[in-house]
Structures are given as C-alpha cells and as structure tokens.
Structure 1
Amino acid sequence: MKLPPLKALPVFEAVARLNSFSLAAQELAVSQSAVSHQIKQLETYLGEQLFWRSGRTLALTDDGRQYLDAISTALLQIERASEQLLGHEESRLRLSLFSSFAVRWLVPRLPDLQRLHPQVELALEMSSENPVLSDRVADCFITIHRDSPAYSYELLYVERLFPVCSQDYWQRIQRELGWEADVTGHDEPVLTAGDIARFPLLSTHSIYDKAAGDWEAWFRIADDAIPVGTRVQHFSHMLLALEAARFHQGIALTNDYMLSTRKDSEEFVRLPCHPLVTGDTFYFAWKTSRRQERGIQILRRWLVGQAIEGGLRGEVA
C-alpha cells in the first residue's frame, strides 16, 4: 500500500478549511513553518500544486479542491472509527438546511431528538439557498436537488403552497365578501381567484426568483392572471411574508412545514381555495461513502419518522 505522508493530511485539511497557514498552525498547536513544511512535502509527493499563493491571498487550486473533497471524507471516517473503538459514542454532525425549514420545522423538534438520541450532537448550518453538497460545508444536508452522484437521498417532503391569513384578517375577508351569515349545515364556501385578488397579496420573491412569481403561479392554476390593480407587497423570504400575514397585512402563500409545529400556527387560517405544487422536493442527503456512520443513520431515521408523523411525508413514498 503506497500512502502519502500521513502527518501532512490533517495539516492540509486545516489549511484548506481555515484558508490560512497561520490559523492552521494555531489550531494544530505547531509553528507556521512546520505547517508550510508539511504542505510542501505533500505537494512534492503528489507532484501537484495544492494552493495558489499571492501575497497574503491563499486559495485552493482545482487539484487541491478535488484532493480535499476526497481526503476530508477519509479523515472523518478514521476519526469516527477511532472514537467507536475508544468507546466514545458521541456523534457530532453538521446539518446544512434552509433557514425557514430550520426555524419553523426542525428547531421545535430538536428536544425530541435530544431525548431519544442524546449521543447525537447536532450543529445547524442555515442557508438561504440550496446548500452545496460537500464535506467542507456539512456532514449531511436537507436539499431540494439530487444532482450529486456521490450522495444518497431520502424523501422528506413534496412542497405545496396555499393561501393563509391571520384569524382577524379572515373575519375581515368574510365581512367584505358577505359571508357573515350563519352557514351551519351548508357546505363551506370556497374562495375564487377573483375573491383572493380583492385583498393585498404578500409575495415571497425567493420561491420563484421573480417579483410576484409565487402568486402568478397560483393564479395560473385557476387559468387566471393577477388582475391589474391588485395590491402586491413583496418580501425576500417566506418567513417575512408569514410575519406580515400574522399582523393582518394581507394574504400570504406558505407551505405545510411552516405551519406544522409552532403553537403560533393557530393564529393563521388556511383559506378555502386551491393549493399550488411548486415542484420542489425536500430530501435528507448524506455522502454514500459515509453510509455506515451511526450518527448519520440515526439522524436519517429520526427525520423520516418526524416527517411521517407530522404529515409531510406519507408512509410509502
């Protein structure tokens, strides 16, 4: 078995992760010259330059980035295997996921994970966009893309959007539409696209990456368009639009996980009208080469169980 200078591998990983020779030296408790020596030794062995150096600027080369992706997983596996033999049962995992999914769905459920699996130490890395699947970013992910063949994926949720407003605003809608009379014993009235357009629409730009894109898609389901003159208020994030709806500012489009856990979900009314399937599917993703790691499999089973129990995912996907 022909191996590279093994002492140089954790040094290379630290320099690449911290993007600094001096910070890597501090973390490893060695001199900066020792770090430089180990990197030079590794580059000589490989016959490739791993870093571009220009003054104080340091960056991985393409070869360095490819090598980092490969050896990071190997180093993590060595660490996990050693901890198991030493009797250290703790599993430290970094989970990267969308901020809205984290705040509205995952965080309220974490006490259950800690109670059932106290050996799993979970650090959350929130992202406003779909996370890049890489060991440098996190150990596992909640993502809407399945574009990396190096990863395995488990279905959590197929997204759909539906209109909601506050309890007080629902009373206003009923008054303005003349629905205040007692309808006991009658079918629940259904809001049409025209009814919805009479009220301010709270739009989330990030869903379709265009102004009012979410409401345009919702109106298309009804073979309609947003009427000219409809008031649309724009927000960058669904969390903001939902907060505006909470404070009686209009009607927002939201999804199941945003209202699945928090007690304040009772402050909202899901309006009686059609939903919109966005085409986004949420998956739990982990590197296939790390599939035997106990912590990842514990987290996978727990997340799937929570998704089924909370109604995001059916028993059979």
Structure 2
Amino acid sequence: MKLPPLKSLPVFEAVARLNSFSLAAEELAVSQSAVSHQIKQLETYLGEKLFWRSGRTLALTDEGRQYLDGVGSALLQIERVSEQLLGHEESRLRLSVFSSFAVRWLAPRLPDLQRLHPQLELSLEMSSENPVLSDRVADCFITIKPSSAAFSYELLYKERLFPVCSQDYWQRIRRELALDEVDGDAVSLTPEQIAQFPLLSTHSIYDKEGGDWEAWYHEAGLKLPASSRLLHSSHMLLSLEAARFSQGIALTNDYMMSTKKDAGDFVRLPCHSIMTGDKFYFAWKTSRRREKGIQILRRWLVDEAIQSGLRNKNEDN
C-alpha cells in the first residue's frame, strides 16, 4: 500500500476548510512555516498544485478540490470509526437544511430529539439554496435534488402551496365580501375574490416575481389578474410574517404551518392548493449508512414527518 505523507493530510484539510495557512496553523497549534512545509511536501508527492496563491488570496485548484472531497471524507471516517472502538457513544452530526424548514419545522422539534437521543449532538448548517452534497459541507442534508448517486435518500415531504392570512385579516375579508352571514363550514373563496386583496409573493419558489401566484391561478385555469396588487419578498418567511401582520394573503406550505402557534395565528383560506413538484429528502452518503447517528436522525425525521402530517406512513420516494 503506497500512501501519501499522512501527517500532511489533516494539515491540507484544515487549510482548505479555513482557506488560510495562518488559521490552520493556529487550529493545529503549529507554526505557519510548518503548515507550508506540509503542503509543499504533499504537492511534491502528488506532483500537482493544490492551492493557487496570489498575494493574500488563497484558493483550491481543481485538483485540490478533487483531493479534498476524498481526503475530507476519509478523515471523517477514520475519526468516527476510532470513536466507536474507543467506546464513545456520542454522535456529532452536521445537518445542512433550508433556513425556512429549519426555523419553522425542525427547530421547534429539536427538544424532543434531544430528550429521546441525548447522545446525538446535532449542528445545523442553514442554507437559502439547495446544498451541495459533500462531506465538506455537512454529514447529512435535507435537499430537494436527489442528484448524487453516492447518496441515499428518504422522502420527508411533497410540497404544496395554499393561501393563508392572519385571523384579523380573515375577519376583514369576511366583512368586505359579505361572508359574515354564511356558515363557516360553507364558506369558499374563488380566485376572483382572492384577487381583490393584496397578494404576498415569494420570489424564491418559482425564481420569478409573482411566479407563485401565477402558478396558483394557472391551477384554476385562469391568469393572474392584471389588477392584482403583488407585494414581493425574496423568502417565504418574509411573506408569512407580512401575512401575520395583516398585510395581505400569502402562499405557504405545510411545514411552515406545523406548530400550534401558527395554527392559531393564521387561517388557511377555503380555496384550492397546488403542488410545486418539489420533494424534500433526508440525504446521507451511502458509504456512511452504518453510522449510528445518521440512522438515528433518519428514523426520527421520518417519524416526525409522519406525525406532523408532512408524509403519509406508507408513502415512498
């Protein structure tokens, strides 16, 4: 077995992760010249440049990024196998997750995870976009793009959008549309009635202004009325907060409405919903499938998704 200089591998990983020779030296408690020596030794062995250096700018080369993917994963595996043999029960995991899913659905449930599995130490890496599936980013992920053959996926949720507003705004809608005389269970709203009120739109869902409401009207066989008053936000969290403060009607999804407080603050309007086509998965590298922490988190997430109504018990991917 021909191996590279093994002492240089943790040094390379630290420099690449911190994007700094000096920060890596500080973390590893060695001199900066020692770090430089280890990187040079590794580059000489490989016959490839791993970093581009220009003044104070440092960046991985294409070869460096490729090497980091393999080395980072291998070092993590060595650390975890060693902990198992040493009898350490604690499992430390980094979970990369969309910020809205983390704030509205996951965070309120974390106390239960800690109570049921105190040996699991979970660190959240929040992202506004679909995460890159790599050990450099996290140990496991919640993603809408099951694109890597090296990963396994467990379905959590198929996204649908439906209109909501605040309790106060719902009373205003009932007054203005003369619905006060109608029994609550018999009330239904048409798309034409919805268009009479400000529509809170989220750009990130369909990557265009008003795209969410255009899709909602298209589902009903209609076009978004030109007279509609659209109030744009970059993120669903912002649109929902605007709705909470009675600024209009927002399109939201099930996981944003999954707590008792939200059920009390908002009214789901009696009209149709749409499926966006996005599916939320828990993803983990298949080569790490036997890691106890990953399987504990997988089973807990699926159970919570079923109990909260995001996923049917017998639903598959």
How many pairs were matched up?
A: 315
Q: 1:120 and 1:139, CA in 2 relative to 1: closer, same or farther beyond 3 A?
A: same
Alignment partner of 1:56 is 2:84: no
Question: Which residue of the partner structure matches residue 257 of structure 1?
Answer: 255
Q: Distance in 2 between matches of 1:131 and 1:237?
A: 16
Given the alignment, which residue of 204, 207, 219 partners 1:206?
204
Counterpart code for 1:245:
A
Given the alignment, which residue of 207, 217, 220 partners 1:219?
217
Deviations 1:69-88 (A, max 9, x none): 01111100110111111121
Q: Which runs of 4+ in 1 moved over 2 A?
A: none
Counterpart code for 1:244:
A
Given the alignment, which residue of 289, 292, 307 partners 2:290?
292
TM-score (norm 2): 0.97
Q: 1:144 and 1:38, CA in 2 relative to 1: closer, same or farther beyond 3 A?
A: same
Match of 2:145, SS state, is: coil
Once the two structures are TM-superposed, the CA of residue 265 in structure 1 deviates from its matched residue by 2.7
Q: Distance in 2 between matches of 1:262 and 1:8?
A: 52
Question: Which residue of the partner structure matches residue 114 of structure 1?
Answer: 114
Once the two structures are TM-superposed, the CA of residue 116 in structure 1 deviates from its matched residue by 0.6
Once the two structures are TM-superposed, the CA of residue 189 in structure 1 deviates from its matched residue by 2.5
- Confirm or deny: 8 A CA contact 1:162 1:270 kept in the other structure: yes
Once the two structures are TM-superposed, the CA of residue 262 in structure 1 deviates from its matched residue by 4.8
Match of 2:278, SS state, is: strand
Match of 1:269, SS state, is: strand
Q: Distance in 2 between matches of 1:47 and 1:69?
A: 18
Once the two structures are TM-superposed, the CA of residue 177 in structure 1 deviates from its matched residue by 1.5
Counterpart code for 1:234:
H
Counterpart code for 1:300:
R
Counterpart code for 1:291:
R
Q: Distance in 2 between matches of 1:129 and 1:284?
A: 15
Match of 2:132, SS state, is: coil
RMSD across aligned positions (CA): 1.2
- Confirm or deny: 8 A CA contact 1:161 1:255 kept in the other structure: yes
Deviations 1:116-172 (A, max 9, x none): 111111111111111111111111111110111121111000000000011111111
Q: Distance in 1 between matches of 2:290 and 2:38?
A: 31
Once the two structures are TM-superposed, the CA of residue 256 in structure 1 deviates from its matched residue by 0.1
**Structure 2: runs of 5 or more not aligned:** none
TM-score (norm 1): 0.97
**Structure 1: runs of 5 or more not aligned:** none
